[in-house]
A and B are shown apart, each in its own frame.
Chain A
């Protein structure tokens, strides 16, 4: 439960988030034609909830059950030695991913390091035919050659700002805010 600080500027409200996810859902289906081959994997923690929402929307559109999973990337991060050992999140891969199209889903894309870790983790689980990336917010400041296939909102930010995604499942409300703080924000 994080209260929204007074200095925060809301850039997406619950309606905007819902519309963005609906659009991403349709874009994924449009690009891949056939949802049979798709495996939706969220990156914990908020990516998992976004993946569940996209899977629910996709089920509606396609008229059948489509599930999503979770891929924890903690053990593959490149900054493990910079802080005390982190707790692991749950990994749950619903199907065999060999030869399938995996769509990774995360809340904020910044440096690209989390996605780099996710690609490594994925390679240890199998060999997907293709990997695509969907993010709710792309805030720039890439440090690796990684780009998203589906973007909810491009949000040009400075490093002094912090982008905070809140989702009703864990934060009691849906919103994306920009806060002006010194710390670097999310990757």
Chain B
């Protein structure tokens, strides 16, 4: 594993390895000294071309707990707003010696471009690209569900509800949960299911009520108002009535079923406040788990021996292994 670009790239073994590693790293948050020396001397750049609070601070906390140096770069107020291209930004970061680049971009495929362009030699972690993927969110969702559902997701029913069309979280979750053996059902109004969803390894439904009883976990997606540039549903109230999770619907869930939400929530829209704050809701825990999962990803990508080939030796994919100790 050199980069983490798509949840679909992970084999079952790789995914389980990340989750098991995260399980151990979760304990770090409970220790008196919440820090490991593992990534000392490594530089991790958070390259955020799109607004994000929780993902960025989660990655920042994860990198700092591993003792890495963190450089935060957000497009607002940077040279990007003066028209700098992704390539030039990446070359600048490379010149500063980034070992890993965590990138969020509004264009689907931007992390892939960065990873395969030779502009940077560091590991690339996709922290959300357009409406494409958000693999670490899927990993933390799987991690949280696994903890509550007996340690294994094989054969479990997970229902993902809401704006699947614009949701990179839904796409990554569908791929990862399928890899882990879970049965995924996507529930959304017909206008909010993407074209070609029948090729995904999931079932789809337009009816939330029919999907509740068998679900072991229900994941509510945020209605992304900023991407709602067409009339996808008649009104917010109608959406909420048909696809929102309220107490009446929650009471029809199985006793052990959990309620998840990747955040940020629109309380009263896709999830009622009562449900968001109830004991079934693991939404706050998801945030805690997110740090552990991102620590695991960063550790597995840059914690060991890394490829030290320069970006200009194009054509040579052979790794020149040398430890960085000589530099000290």
Contacts and interface: CB of A to CB of B under 8 A. Distances in A.
A123 to B, nearest CB: 8
A91 to B, nearest CB: 6
A85 B37 contact: no
Interface stretch (A34-42, A52-60, A74-82, A138-146): A74-82
Nearest to A84: B304
A75 B21 contact: no
A80 B21 contact: no
Most chain B C-beta atoms within 10 Å of own C-beta, residue among A87, A88, A91: A88
A71 to B, nearest CB: 11
B20 interface: yes
Contacts, number: 52
Interface in A81-98: 81-91
A88 B303 CA distance: 12
A84 B38 CA distance: 13
A82 B305 contact: yes
A19 interface: no
Contact of A75 (B36, B305, B324): B36
Interface stretch (B26-34, B80-88, B89-97): B26-34
Nearest to A123: B33
Sort chain B's interface into a size bin: 20 to 34
A9 interface: no
B124 to A, nearest CB: 16
B299 interface: yes
A88 B25 CA distance: 9
Contacts of B301: 85
B32 A126 contact: yes
B61 to A, nearest CB: 16
B24 A90 contact: yes
A169 B88 CA distance: 56
Interface in B1-53: 17, 20-21, 24-25, 27, 31-33, 35-38
Nearest to B24: A88
A86 B304 contact: yes
B153 to A, nearest CB: 20
Contacts of A89: 24
A87 B21 CA distance: 7
B37 A120 contact: yes
A81 B41 CA distance: 11
A161 B37 CA distance: 32
Contact of B20 (A76, A82, A83, A87): A87
A88 B31 CA distance: 17
Contacts of A86: 304
B325 interface: yes
Contacts of B299: 75, 85
A80 B325 CA distance: 11
A89 B17 CA distance: 11
Interface in B291-328: 299-301, 303-306, 323-325
B9 to A, nearest CB: 17
Nearest to B41: A81
Given A75-B37, A80-B304, A120-B37, A88 B21 contact: yes
A81 B24 contact: no
Contact of A81 (B35, B36, B324): B324
Given A75-B38, A126-B32, A83 B305 contact: yes
Given A84-B305, A85-B299, A85-B300, A91 B27 contact: yes
Given A88-B21, A125-B33, 20 more contacts: A75-B37, A75-B299, A75-B303, A76-B37, A80-B38, A80-B303, A80-B304, A81-B324, A81-B325, A83-B305, A85-B299, A85-B304, A86-B304, A89-B24, A91-B24, A91-B27, A120-B37, A123-B33, A124-B31, A124-B36
15 contacts: A75-B299, A80-B38, A80-B303, A80-B304, A81-B306, A81-B324, A82-B305, A85-B301, A88-B21, A88-B24, A120-B37, A124-B31, A124-B32, A125-B31, A125-B32
**What are the nearest 4 A-B pairs in CB distance?**
A85-B304, A124-B33, A88-B24, A84-B304
